[in-house]
Structure 1
Amino acid sequence: MALAKSTKRQTRGVVTDRLASAFIAGFLALSLVNPGHILPAASAQARHTAIQTDWPVYGGQSADDRYSALHQIDRTNVHKLKVAWTFDTKEPGGLQTNPLIVGRVLFGFTPTQKVIALDAATGKNLWTFSTGTPGLQPTRGLSYRTDGTQSILFAGLLSNLYAINPATGKLISSFGDGGKIDLRKDLNEKDVTQSFAALTTPGLIYKDMIIVGFRAPETEPALHGDIRAYDVHTGKLRWIFHTIPLPGEPGYETWPKDAWKVTGSANNWAGMALDEKRGIVYVPTGSAVNDFYGFDRIGDDLYANTLLALDANTGQRLWHFQGVHHDIWDRDFPSPPSLVTVRSHGKQVDAIAQTTKQGYLFLFDRTTGKPLFPIEEKPFPASTAPGEKASPTQPVPSIPAPYARQLLTADVLTTRTPEAHAWAAEQFKTFISNGIFVPFSVDKQTVVFPGFDGGAEWGGSAVDIKTGVIYINANDIVWTGGLTENKPGGSLGANVYQSQCSICHGGDRKGNPPAFPSLIDEQKRLSDAQITEIIHNGKGRMPSFPNVEAARLTAVLEYLKTGDIAGSATPTPKSVNRNEIAGAKIYDKNCAICHGDDLLGAPSNYPGLLGVRLRLTDQQILANIHNGKGRMPSFQKLTDADTASLLHFLGDSASPMVESAVTSNNSSKKEVESALTPPGGLAKYRFTGYRKFLDPDGYPAVQPPWGTLNAIDLNTGKYLWKIPLGNYPELAAKGLANTGSENYGGPIVTAGGIVFIAATNFDHTIRAFDSRTGTLLWQGDLPYAGNATPATYMIDGRQYVVIATSNARNPKGPQGAAYVAFALP
């Protein structure tokens, strides 16, 4: 399973292996299944040639070009589009799904992660699949596979990948464990029950394998972000690529010694692209944890923030490009790359384009990894945070120009009203604003422009395969961030909150609404049970935290009630309802009679259990539970679920960071320990939280445009056009229109000369633009925001455009979620 050894050709930039002597030739030979109902998947090139009428892959095709050869809807008639059907999920929450359309069936998700099959011509529900456990993670798509005899629909729900019969909505029990596999396994982890993984973006099908990444937390503990391929029939692991290299693997030297033992993520959450003809899968990865203070991972940190070209048959690395060295800004590659053919230096070159949060677009020869536009390693400032060592250089493309602004100056501040400008000017005086790749300082806010949500985001870009023009929607607003000291001596609840929650909700619990809600008075709105469910299962952009076991969870609940920083470190607050916590109920029923409800025991007769998981391994604890020890009886009646809940309640283990960090760039143990706060393993500094730079009225505190749609000719690197995307309806009503707005989701482009995109947060609109000029040709009203990527397909000679809508990113608006399809009359 280990990564095969390779030959490196250079230290930074693009690095290649000796390419295999021959790549997989020819396309998959797939035949029709269930004629008129489910169609086979084929190669992107073949589908385009045959005029593909469905949308069987996330993004349209495995090349992720978001291109459709359909042209019934074109520049001359797009203005006639009308709503063909609407499917109301009757659920609140986020809906970011780019649905699949295979034959006459649309496959999608609901906000609570039910899988649905709809008649794609009418919107009628055909079946619904539910695990029985509501999920609240983003679910952006599904995967479909057929070999002519069996069709399989793959759906990522919470930490599991399910194999579903697309005709019936029933599990295919021969896959994995009764129809599912746990994505937390196969990652060198000791206890996956305390880990989080979610397949927010679907895997790619190649031959008889499904290749997957996953979403992981932004803080410790986090799983390794390894890329894996599983057998589509059995669920068995076929290959694995370690994004945090093991000893002896290339890239290991870019981390501290044994970093793989204590560091996590470097994961692919954004999606992938596949060159089926060559048998190469292209995988963009995110940062390692912790995102903003990397004292324990000094070095370039390969293969975090890297575009990987892997042999899709074996997982062997062919070449790679790292877009950010030692990322301490959360500058993940945010979207799948796009395959395209361009003309470079007089020759046709099969290329790959990768967008970024910081507004850069990189273009490579997709076989060799050679940049098609120059990339220069430019110097950037050193870190002033004790224990941190920022990379001295970062890669910057000379062409194309960035599609988002990167420097906040006084003349860019908002002029929406005199009062807003005066407020912004005062705030600006307190910021560090020196452009991109400026390391965060302690107790000082540093400008991040474009913000943590880009630039580009997960919606991806669209490429017209006929012209080589790429269409990218981008956010263009300011966020800020900084570091502050993790001061010891606080209550357990305060310490857990600061280490796990403050990264989004802020050290003061005020958050940054609407993206990151305030948690002040949260327990007046939600019960302990509701908060516990959200913490353990996640919701929206918030990941789950199964590692926060119940003993610490009760302390967090107490802290959220009182805000008491200096409270007791003993995790047994009486005001928390222990009957709402599974592990606490099991403990109270079986263990408290001897060890006390406060876990303090009665030494020497009954030992205290506070911190027991720091003293004993889980295997030792489980052996004592099942077999008994001394005067303690056995508890064989407890199920595996019971003991897992009990372990959560009893506590977790600290991470051994110090020895790993000592080896980083000759750091001394004293230097590393100065970056730690007792008990060992807690970083001395933490991120102050994501902060949008919004004026007192809630609008971006910079001048428009606040969101854009960009058309770039990849043959030349030149812009064809750039326009604002989106409006704030209340501002437009006052005459301030065409401002652009935050946007999440992506475009598609068709042979009819149309770019379709919704994406905007506030105006509930889907738009059609002339792909040549950027002229707005049509716009349609939506019930909610179209924070997703559209799909287009044809049934019975009629072309449809469908978009998933919801309002999770605008909690002040009407709540709900629906799929809406448009067609010509």
Structure 2
Amino acid sequence: SEAAGGHLVTCTPFNRVVALDPVTGKEAWIFDPQIDTENLAAGRFNCRGVTSWSDTSLAADEAAVTACAHRVVLATNDRRLIAVDSRDGKPCADFGDGGEFDVTPLILELKPANQLDGMQLMSPVAIVNDVIIIGGTANKFKDVSSMNGALRAFDVRTGEHLWTFDTLIREGEGASDYDVGGANVWTTMSWDSERDLLFAPTASPSPNYYGALRPGDNLYSNSVLAIRASTGELVWHFQAVHHDNWDWDIPTHPLLVDITRDGQQIPVVVVLTKTGVVFVLHRDTGEPFHEIIERPVPTDGMPGDEYSPTQPFPVVPPPLMKVGLTPDDAWGFGFLDRNDCRKKIESLRYGEDDPDDPYAGYYTPITEQGTIMYPMVGGGMNWSGGAFDPERNVLVTPVAQLPYYVRLIPNEKIEPSDNEMAGLPMGPPDYIKGAEYGLQHGPLLSNLMSPCTAPPWSKLVAVDLDVGEILWEQGFGVIDKMVPGGFMPLPLEYGGPFSGGAITTRGGVVFMGASYDERFRAYDIDSGEKLWEVMTPFSANATPMTYERDGKQFVVVSAGGHAWSPLPKGDYIMAYALPD
């Protein structure tokens, strides 16, 4: 707002906060927290956004002359919570210690781990009325006892610590041992200030792919938690995956939307998942808006691991991608490529496909043989999720369709490696600290490095959320910049890796970057037709935003590339004005 300075505010991977003129892009102010760059806990620098707050207890004339009546709040890679005045970027002296609060001592108070490996604050904080809530990352791949995934709340004016919510049940029926970590909220949260509700999407428990040391459903991992923000009380929860051995987190903020049915607006929570399914829940109670059933799933996995005999599935909408992968699905640019993929699929466990059952093939247990994950660890849906058009009841979301594999390996068969990627995607095998097995995992590729499933490897999908029907789907993303040697110059919409979400406008236009091909696109929400495309200096691996200023509507997106992309990185903010 103009009262808050009227700036467009963003952050860099090093947590520098930059305020720009929203019309000209001219720099207004910069705040640099000078983070610790020597002790990086989670392997990369990242800032996924900042959050604004205005003191509504002050009259407008009083707020205009009160320092920090309007604030920008950020959480940093080195685990600090910082508040600055949104008008000039100066630290808020009344917040914490000179404008900041070090969260590290609170983190070290809780079991498990009592250490900081993998713990950074990367996502924007939630602010519900006058309460800040933060989550954090955790190293769940390679440690039975990763960081405790607790949520923590603070007073937005003073920085005082208000409450802590442990995201795993520790006592009573279904309790997880204090050696189990994870269930953290690494992604963005949502909130409904009128209801005083925070909606927190939790990750899997630790370790990701081996559950013998954490029996039970591991509540409240892989869940959406509706929490009373003022008190930290749990109002309701919904668990999307029981006893997760596939790293199928809730990867993005729950969408808080109103579905119009028979002339009435019904407030719901839309849960987008890595499994490619969409759950729709009533916002006040967590009860299903569309029916959800528990279906039997395979349990013939690792010895001693108590798999859940059932998993929840919505009756509608159907999965937003094909589920299950067999040797007949093998694909390649040529015969040799395809044959190589077929042999790799035949050597692994895979979920059987059934044309009459859209859910066949889910939840194939991961074993020493190695198991194909399709959908993969990156989705289905992933970070930044989708967007909703309230006039049409239409959800639009990007969906990944890349095959993946995971293999558990007895410790005695693992050769120690100094490779920094050991135990991570595409790296050599590595131990899981505290377990008798290690792991190796990565995308399922041919010898020519092409995915072993047919394109498109990413697509944009539109869903009518009232009736639960898929309306259209459109492949997005080209591979001209990703193919080694540049032998694929044609802009084929084969799709590929992406990171970022979509937005919708009232005029029925969908804007999205996300893909690694250095392009920004617009689509017709009714048909999926691509309306417009422009090259960006670097890949726009972010979610756009739109605003109106001086009678014009702008769409802006960060275009800096992605840490895991082989393409160059930069630091651009791109702004586009819609026609009058």
TM range, normalised to the smaller chain?
0.7 to 0.9
User: What's the secondary structure of 1:683's corresponding residue?
Assistant: coil
**Alignment correspondent of 2:507:** 752
Q: CA deviation at 1:277?
A: 2.0
User: What's the secondary structure of 2:106's corresponding residue?
Assistant: coil
Q: Letter of the aligned partner of 1:189 in structure 2?
A: L
Structure-to-structure mapping, 1:759-770, within 5 angstroms: 759-761=514-516, 763-770=517-524
Contact 2:129/2:196 (<8 A) preserved: no
Q: CA deviation at 1:389?
A: 1.6
User: What's the secondary structure of 1:480's corresponding residue?
Assistant: strand
**Alignment correspondent of 2:392:** 467
Structure-to-structure mapping, 1:46-57, within 5 angstroms: none
Residues 488, 496 of structure 1: CA spacing in aligned structure 2 closer, same or farther, 3 A cutoff? farther
Q: Find the aligned partners of 1:163 and 1:277 in 2 and give their Cα distance.
A: 23
Structure-to-structure mapping, 1:307-346, within 5 angstroms: 307-343=224-260
**Alignment correspondent of 2:129:** 207
Q: Which segment is superposed worse, 746-755 or 428-437?
A: 428-437
Q: CA deviation at 1:334?
A: 0.5
Deviations 1:667-726 (A, max 9, x none): xxxxxxxxx99xxx72101222x3101223322221011101011011100111111111
- Structure 2 residue ranges without an equivalent (≥5): 64-68, 352-360
Structure-to-structure mapping, 1:377-396, within 5 angstroms: 377-396=294-313
Q: CA deviation at 1:185?
A: 3.7
Which residue among 75, 78, 88 is the counterpart of 1:168? 88
Q: Find the aligned partners of 2:546 and 2:491 in 1 and give their Cα distance.
A: 33
Contact 1:223/1:264 (<8 A) preserved: yes
**Alignment correspondent of 2:19:** 117
**Alignment correspondent of 1:198:** 120
Which residue among 441, 462, 479 is the counterpart of 2:367? 441
Q: Letter of the aligned partner of 1:691 in structure 2?
A: G
User: What's the secondary structure of 1:691's corresponding residue?
Assistant: strand
Contact 1:474/1:743 (<8 A) preserved: no
Deviations 1:614-652 (A, max 9, x none): xxxxxxxxxxxxxxxxxxxxxxxxxxxxxxxxxxxxxxx
Q: CA deviation at 1:800?
A: 1.1
Contact 1:340/1:468 (<8 A) preserved: no
- Asked which structure has the greater RCO (Cα within 8 Å, sep 6+), the reply is 1
Q: Letter of the aligned partner of 1:794 in structure 2?
A: E
Contact 2:122/2:186 (<8 A) preserved: yes
Q: CA deviation at 1:179?
A: 2.1
Which residue among 796, 814, 820 is the counterpart of 2:550? 796
Contact 1:768/1:776 (<8 A) preserved: yes
Residues 121, 332 of structure 1: CA spacing in aligned structure 2 closer, same or farther, 3 A cutoff? same
User: What's the secondary structure of 1:336's corresponding residue?
Assistant: coil
Residues 480, 193 of structure 1: CA spacing in aligned structure 2 closer, same or farther, 3 A cutoff? closer
Q: Which segment is superposed worse, 795-804 or 160-169?
A: 160-169
**Alignment correspondent of 1:38:** 4
Contact 1:483/1:687 (<8 A) preserved: yes
Q: Find the aligned partners of 2:238 and 2:229 in 1 and give their Cα distance.
A: 17
In the alignment, is residue 506 of structure 1 matched against residue 427 of structure 2?
yes
Q: CA deviation at 1:189?
A: 2.6
User: What's the secondary structure of 2:259's corresponding residue?
Assistant: strand
In the alignment, is residue 270 of structure 1 matched against residue 187 of structure 2?
yes
Q: Which has the larger radius of gyration?
A: 1
Q: Find the aligned partners of 1:774 and 1:801 in 2 and give their Cα distance.
A: 19
Deviations 1:336-380 (A, max 9, x none): 011122245885421111000010100011112111112111111
Across the two proteins, how many residue pairs are aligned to each other? 544
User: What's the secondary structure of 1:780's corresponding residue?
Assistant: strand
Contact 2:14/2:47 (<8 A) preserved: no
Structure-to-structure mapping, 1:101-500, within 5 angstroms: 103=6, 105-133=7-35, 134=37, 136-147=44-55, 148=58, 149=63, 150-158=69-77, 159-187=79-107, 188-189=109-110, 194-218=116-140, 219-220=142-143, 221-247=145-171, 252-256=172-176, 259=177, 261-343=178-260, 348-434=265-351, 435-442=361-368, 444-487=369-412, 494=416
Q: Find the aligned partners of 1:447 and 1:488 in 2 and give their Cα distance.
A: 21
Q: Find the aligned partners of 1:246 and 1:428 in 2 and give their Cα distance.
A: 40
Contact 1:790/1:801 (<8 A) preserved: yes
User: What's the secondary structure of 1:164's corresponding residue?
Assistant: strand
Residues 269, 130 of structure 1: CA spacing in aligned structure 2 closer, same or farther, 3 A cutoff? same
Q: CA deviation at 1:216?
A: 1.5
Residues 697, 495 of structure 1: CA spacing in aligned structure 2 closer, same or farther, 3 A cutoff? closer
Contact 1:173/1:179 (<8 A) preserved: yes
Of Structure 1 and Structure 2, the greater helix share is in 1
**Alignment correspondent of 2:358:** none
Q: CA deviation at 1:125?
A: 2.0
- Structure 1 residue ranges without an equivalent (≥5): 1-31, 40-102, 510-675
Q: Letter of the aligned partner of 1:438 in structure 2?
A: T
User: What's the secondary structure of 1:325's corresponding residue?
Assistant: coil
Q: Letter of the aligned partner of 1:706 in structure 2?
A: W
Q: CA deviation at 1:415?
A: 4.0
Structure-to-structure mapping, 1:446-595, within 5 angstroms: 446-487=371-412, 494=416, 501-504=422-425, 506-507=427-428
Deviations 1:506-560 (A, max 9, x none): 3358xxxxxxxxxxxxxxxxxxxxxxxxxxxxxxxxxxxxxxxxxxxxxxxxxxx
Contact 1:184/1:223 (<8 A) preserved: no
User: What's the secondary structure of 2:344's corresponding residue?
Assistant: helix
User: What's the secondary structure of 1:239's corresponding residue?
Assistant: strand
Q: CA deviation at 1:265?
A: 1.6
TM-score normalized by the length of structure 1: 0.63
Q: Find the aligned partners of 2:13 and 2:137 in 1 and give their Cα distance.
A: 17
Q: Find the aligned partners of 2:259 and 2:562 in 1 and give their Cα distance.
A: 38
Q: Which segment is superposed worse, 282-291 or 344-353?
A: 344-353
Q: Share of identical aligned residues, percent?
A: 32
Deviations 1:731-754 (A, max 9, x none): 795557122222210000011211
Deviations 1:759-794 (A, max 9, x none): 011x21111111111111111110111110001112
Q: CA deviation at 1:284?
A: 1.1
Q: CA deviation at 1:460?
A: 1.6
Contact 1:255/1:297 (<8 A) preserved: no
Q: Find the aligned partners of 2:193 and 2:166 in 1 and give their Cα distance.
A: 22
**Alignment correspondent of 1:694:** 445
User: What's the secondary structure of 1:816's corresponding residue?
Assistant: coil
Deviations 1:164-222 (A, max 9, x none): 22223232232223322233443543786644422222122122111221122114342
User: What's the secondary structure of 1:682's corresponding residue?
Assistant: coil
In the alignment, is residue 683 of structure 1 matched against residue 461 of structure 2?
no
Deviations 1:460-507 (A, max 9, x none): 2101122221111011110100100112997xxx38989x94244533
RMSD: 2.5
